[in-house]
Amino acid sequence: MLSEGWDATTVTHVVGLRPFGSQLLCEQVVGRALRRTSYVVDPETKRFSEETAQIFGVPFELIPFKVEGGKPQPPSPPANHVYADADKSEYEIEFPVVEGYQDPGIVRVVVNWDRVGEIVLNPETVPDDVLLKGLTTQDGSLIGYGPGAPTRVNLEAWRRDIREQQVAFDLAKVLTRKWKEDRGDGIPTHRLFPQMLEAATRFIETCVAPVGSRRKQDLAINPYFGKALAMLLNAMEVVDAGGASQERAVIAPGAAGVRSTRMVDFHTGKISTKRGAATSTRQCLIKVGRRRQANCWTFTLRCAPG
């Protein structure tokens, strides 16, 4: 569900496939399609060009019209055209497009346990006992009171039917599927699954810390299960009989497998720039890696005046 943390500028359609019971949620979902693709000002109209998005399944009646009361509109942000500086082509950086990894004939997977942290099962994250009752009608309207009795959901009854070995088996099954999706069929399933089961069992025994009324089988509940899955996959690698890594990157053949800083070419109104004293180039800080990661590279790019 796209509610927060989505900042793509290429979204043209949003389809709501769930009930909406709050104005805030509707605004968040619709806002995912309101990122402009271009900040170039039309020289004739002195305005941005029109951009539209198709919204389906989001109840707009929950979103009231906001009247600004005649307040003046803020000035449009400058449109910066960022592209590679042809005069500095000797500094061009080429890098491969890695589509995945494969393991040629390798059948052993190891876990670097130094990279695996601890998961704390805390009742404050996922409560043990909750009372559920519907807050919307069939048409999505909010109701404070209405028909239908509340339902009490308690984890004790669920725990009686779930064993730690079953959680380990389910975790190993998903690990095996994700591994083959990401890295191919280099390791046969009948050899890969036992290794995943061994890793999942050790993880539950040594890396899961229940708090209070929590039990280790609660790892099967999200978000715990998803965190365990990500932690194990990020710490796994394939080795040969001598313990050396044998992973090989899968790179698309030909020009499709290579990208370059020469290909940088886009418009933006949200770029931090610093103009040099004797040049017309600007230093642009471009973040790479995962969200909120501090690693970044600095490229010298040319920004056309907005």
Q: For residue range 31-83, list pLDDT tens digits in order.
A: 878 888 777 888 888 888 888 888 888 776 655 544 455 566 666 666 778 88
Residue 176, class by beta-carbon neighbours within 10 Å (0-12 exposed, 13-18 middle, 19+ buried)? buried
| Range with the poorest average pLDDT among 52-61, 132-141, 194-203 | 132-141
- Based on the fold, state whether residues 183 and 278 are members of the same structural domain: no
**What are the structure tokens assigned to 65, written together?**
């019209």
**pLDDT tens profile 223-241:** 889 999 999 998 888 776 5
219 and 107 part of one domain: yes
Alpha-carbon distance of 265 to 304, in angstroms, equals 11
Question: Would you call 29 exposed, middle or buried from its count of C-beta atoms within 10 A (0-12, 13-18, 19+)?
Answer: buried
Q: Give the total residue count for the chain.
A: 306
CB 192 within 8 A of CB 109: yes
Q: Give the E-state strand segments of the chain in sequence order.
A: 13-15, 54-56, 80-84, 94-96, 98-102, 108-111, 119-121, 129-132, 151-154, 208-210, 236-239, 248-251, 258-260, 265-268, 282-287, 296-304
Residue 204 falls within a domain, yes or no? yes
**Domain final residue, candidates 44, 76, 108:** 76
Residue 155 included in any domain: no
- pLDDT tens digits, 249-303: 788 888 888 889 888 888 777 655 554 443 333 444 443 333 333 334 444 444 4
Contact by Cβ (8 Å): 233, 204: no
pLDDT of residue 281: 38
DSSP 3-state of 268: strand
In a domain, 293, yes or no: yes
Domain count, the chain: 3
Rounded-to-integer distance, Cα 159 and Cα 121, Å = 14
Residue 251: both structure tokens together: 């790179």
Q: What are the backbone dihedrals phi and psi of residue 121, each rounded to the nearest 5 degrees, phi first?
A: -90, 100
Shared-domain flag, residues 184 and 235: yes
Within a domain: 146 = no
Q: For residue 246, with 0-12 CB atoms within 10 Å meaning exposed, 13-18 middle and 19 or more buried, which class applies? A: middle
The confidence score (pLDDT) of residue 173 equals: 93
Each residue's pLDDT tens digit, 142-179: 666 655 667 777 788 778 888 888 999 999 999 999 98
Task: Give the range of the structural domain holding residue 234, as residue numbers without chain letter.
Answer: 100-127+162-249
Residue 212 shares a structural domain with residue 277: no
- 153 against 93, higher pLDDT: 93
